[in-house]
Amino acid sequence: MDWKALRLYPEQSVRDALTLINSIGEQFALVTDTADKLVGVVTDGNIRRGLLTCASLESPVHAVMNKVPKHTSIATSAIQALCIMEEASLTHLPVLEKDGTVRHVWSMKNLRSATPIPNSVVLMAGGLGTRLGELTHNCPKPMLDVAGKPILQIVLENFTKVGFRNFFLAVNYLSEVIIDYFEDGSRFDCHIQYLREPMRMGTAGALSLLPPQNIPFLVANADILTHINMRCLLQEHLAHDNPATMVVRKHSVQIAYGVVESDENGNLTSIKEKPNVDVHVSTGLYALSPLVLPLVPQKTFFDMPDLFQQLLHIGKQPRVMETNDYWLDVGRLPDYERAQSEF
């Protein structure tokens, strides 16, 4: 929703606020000045408390509004915003530029909804799974069992439970095992089409097989177990209007040696024995706008990092969204064994 549909000005009446809140159905309105800077918010509760004291329906809305509402910056992701709203029992969270101008508004109802949405999801399920040895000799990695289900079914259901219904499965190795199990998707309350890779095409090459897309879509590796709210990923991407959004998480790496630092004259300045270094790693989850598809070469191996590098090269700025939610890449035997006990 365009945040301006929720906007009131301070001198408008309480009656105007009630009319707006009733017509929009959000039980919430923003109050801004004429320069779009936030001065307050109004909820049903604010109005009731005001009417029970000294306000009337004709009073200015600034008489009943919350003049110090909780808000956040554009650096706050959809996932972080959802946590803030849950902890503070908020239904909405305004997002402000540094100068106080409203950028957009996160809505609890929007982020937690399961209402069906038209945006498609591409699940990359064509890998060989060679690091899992004999387990994938006769079974594609996404079809390995975890908690009584194939991994790919768990991935699929993580999307369907928040409203995604249209899926493309990119398949190659032992593809018929996957197709025979999922068929057209009706058994899983969704619609599935298949992108048959003529060769191994990497983590992004199969996007060249997609039919034309006119709205943003999500891409996920089919061997990722996670509790990330996928609707938040889409909302994050839409809110910032970037060509591509990558989900990342912190990963700590211990350096096996003493790390030495010195100045330009060769004088020792510090030494840290086997320090831990925190980095951000890709989770294999992405939101993409249709404009990126012409960058994917036809009928060749192409990985997702190549696509993001291409965007940087042509001056199209991708975005990252950090998450702390549970995430496990089932790529190695220890990871598969861990999944059996954790998920």
Whole-number Å distance between alpha carbons of 219 and 305? 13
Q: Which of 23, 26, 63, 30 is nearest to 47 (CA)?
A: 63
Q: How many CA atoms lie within 13 A of 338 on its CB side?
A: 12
Residues contacting residue 238 through CB under 8 Å, at least 6 positions apart: 216
On whether the CB atoms of residues 298 and 193 are closer than 8 A, the answer is: no
Q: Candidates 3.40.50.1000, 3.90.550.10, 3.40.50.1360, 1.10.3720.10; correct CATH number of 117-342?
A: 3.90.550.10
Q: Residue 151 has what pLDDT?
A: 95
Whole-number Å distance between alpha carbons of 70 and 47? 18
Yes or no: domain 3-112 corresponds to CATH 3.10.310.30: no
Token pair recorded at residue 262: 């010195």
What single string gives the DSSP state of each residue in 270-296? EEEES-EEEEEEEEEEEEE-GGGGGGS
Q: Residue 71 has what pLDDT?
A: 96
Q: How many CA atoms lie within 13 A of 55 on its CB side?
A: 20
Q: Where are the domains of the chain?
A: 3-112, 117-342
SS3 at position 107: strand
Q: Residue 1 has what pLDDT?
A: 67
SS3 sequence of 155-190: HHHHHHCCCEEEEEEEECCCHHHHHHHHCCCHHHCC
Dihedral sign, Cα of residue 128, residue 130, residue 131, residue 133? positive
Angle ∠(193,155,190) on CA atoms, nearest 5: 40
Q: Residue 331 has what pLDDT?
A: 85
| DSSP for residue 28 | E
On whether the CB atoms of residues 310 and 317 are closer than 8 A, the answer is: no
Q: Residue 341 has what pLDDT?
A: 87
Q: Which of 124, 129, 126, 166 is nearest to 304 (CA)?
A: 124
Full pLDDT tens readout for the chain, 343 residues: 689 999 999 999 999 999 999 998 888 999 999 999 999 999 999 999 999 998 999 999 999 999 999 999 999 999 999 999 999 999 999 999 999 999 999 999 999 999 999 999 999 999 888 888 888 989 999 999 998 999 999 999 999 999 999 999 999 999 999 999 999 999 999 999 999 999 999 999 999 999 999 999 999 999 999 999 999 999 999 999 899 999 999 988 889 999 999 999 999 999 999 999 889 999 999 999 999 999 999 989 999 999 999 999 999 999 999 999 999 999 889 999 999 888 7
